[in-house]
Structure 1
């Protein structure tokens, strides 16, 4: 299996220039699936903290770069939507948030906001023992004795240290959302209408903004609150 990734074929969410070189770094297996961006790309291409994979590996071995509260030593570890990246030695904290156009960007946040991360519920099912397993967009699973108040498409805020749910944002009309895919990726507004499509077609939502509204596919939006727009520092 090749260790390289052609720039022209990377997901649109990756923050890389596609026509400068033929290849870029390939992400290792891990969270976020194919959408995950190798950590070295954020360190090198976005922040400019390193010039090479070797420098990235050395920096990570110092134990001062955390992803969702845990030290990371793999420079190809996939990073994705709503992950928290902390540089404790620099006292810098970022949330991975989609910008306009759908590329993943690093939004500065306060240190106390780095203790938890947002996750969208993508699956919910009963498991052996009677508990309910909730699966989040980044592959994290939670098992709960009572998950009756949570539904797919809702969002949860998870404490990075304890994995406990510290906030719950239901998917419903009136909810604040951000579009993470499609032509409106990166835009934020409130759901004014959920339009259910009969048959196999995609449900859509109408999202109101201060200067108008837009319509997009239901699965393209994630429920957030005002602390997750990238403007909370």
Structure 2
């Protein structure tokens, strides 16, 4: 099976230029499904830390690149929404966050914020022994106490060490959210109304946007976040070309 991916066919969330070259690297098996961006693209095309796959492999062999608190060795591991990247030797830490237009970008964060990761609850079920299992948006599963009141579409913050839930944000009217897909991806606001649609159709969510441009989207595209989630004012967000811009709040081989 080929390890290459045509640039014109990559998901819209991938931070690559589609017409510069014909091919780019294909993501390996792992979380985030087809939306996951190969780590090589992040290291080479977004951050500019390496120039080739060979350099990326050498860097990863030093165990100084962490994804959600764990050293990684595969340059094709998929990186996706809300993942935490830590570059130990550089003392740099980033959260993967959807930018306007739906492209994934990197928001610089402090070291203490890099010790845990936000996840949207995509599923909840009882398992053998009476425990409750939560499935997050990236496929991660964890067992929790049933009396904690977790529900589908809530968000939780999970520590990188021990998978302990350190915060819980309820999906409800008045909650602070970000849109992660669709025409309003990257916008932040508070839920004004959740319109429950009968049958199998998606529920609609009306959102009072921070920028005053209120919008409507579907429930699947909304993630509850903390008010400090996007970082402090003056942090930088890496764009798709490897440059950076000030943020308020926040490929060949």
User: CA offset at residue 198 of structure 1?
Assistant: 1.7
- Provide the rounded CA distance (Å) in 1 between the counterparts of 2:232 and 2:74: 29
1:204 corresponds to which residue?
204
Partner of 1:112: 112
Cα 1:147–1:36 change in 2 (3 A) is: farther
Aligned to 1:93: 93
Normalized against structure 1, the TM-score is what?
Answer: 0.97
Q: Tell me what 2:246 maps to.
A: none
Aligned residue for 1:7? 7
Provide, for residues 77-116 of structure 1, a one-character-per-residue CA deviation record: whole Å limited to 9, x for no partner: 1100000000010010000000000000000000100000
Q: In the alignment, what sits opposite 1:17?
A: 17
Output the TM-score relative to the length of structure 2.
0.90
Cross-structure match for 1:224: 225
Instruction: Answer whether contact 1:116 1:160 (CA < 8 A) is retained.
Output: yes
Aligned to 2:141: 141
In structure 2, distance between residues paired with 1:174 and 1:141: 27
Q: CA deviation at 1:148?
A: 4.9
Equivalent position of 1:156 in the other structure:
156
User: In structure 2, the residue corresponding to 1:226 is in which secondary structure?
Assistant: coil
Partner of 1:124 in structure 2? 124
In 2, Cα distance between equivalents of 1:26 and 1:57 = 15
Q: Distance in 2 between matches of 1:174 and 1:93?
A: 30
- Maintained 8 Å contact 1:97/1:230: no
Shift of 1:170: 0.5
C-alpha separation in 1, matches of 2:147 and 2:120:
14
1:8-57 CA-partner distances (Å, limit 9, x unpaired): 11111000001111110001100111111000000000000001111000
Shift of 1:143: 1.2
The alpha carbon displacement at 1:203 in A equals 0.7
Higher relative contact order (CA 8 A, sep 6+): 2
Instruction: Find the counterpart in structure 2 of residue 190 from structure 1.
Output: 190
Q: Which runs of 5+ in 2 are unaligned?
A: 236-253
Q: Which residue of 1 is the match for residue 32 of structure 2?
A: 32
Secondary structure at 1:227 match in 2: coil
Whether the 8 Å CA contact 1:132–1:147 is kept in 2: the answer is no
Q: 1:186 to 1:231 in 2, by over 3 A?
A: farther
- The alignment's C-alpha RMSD in Å is 1.1
Question: Residue 177 of structure 1 corresponds to which residue in structure 2?
Answer: 177
Provide structure 1 residue ranges, at least 5 long, that are not aligned to the other structure.
none
Where 2:214 maps in the other structure, the secondary structure is strand
Q: 1:152-195 CA distances to partner (integer Å, 9 max, x unpaired)?
A: 00000000011000000000000000000000000000000001
- Which deviates the most, 193-202 or 47-56? 193-202
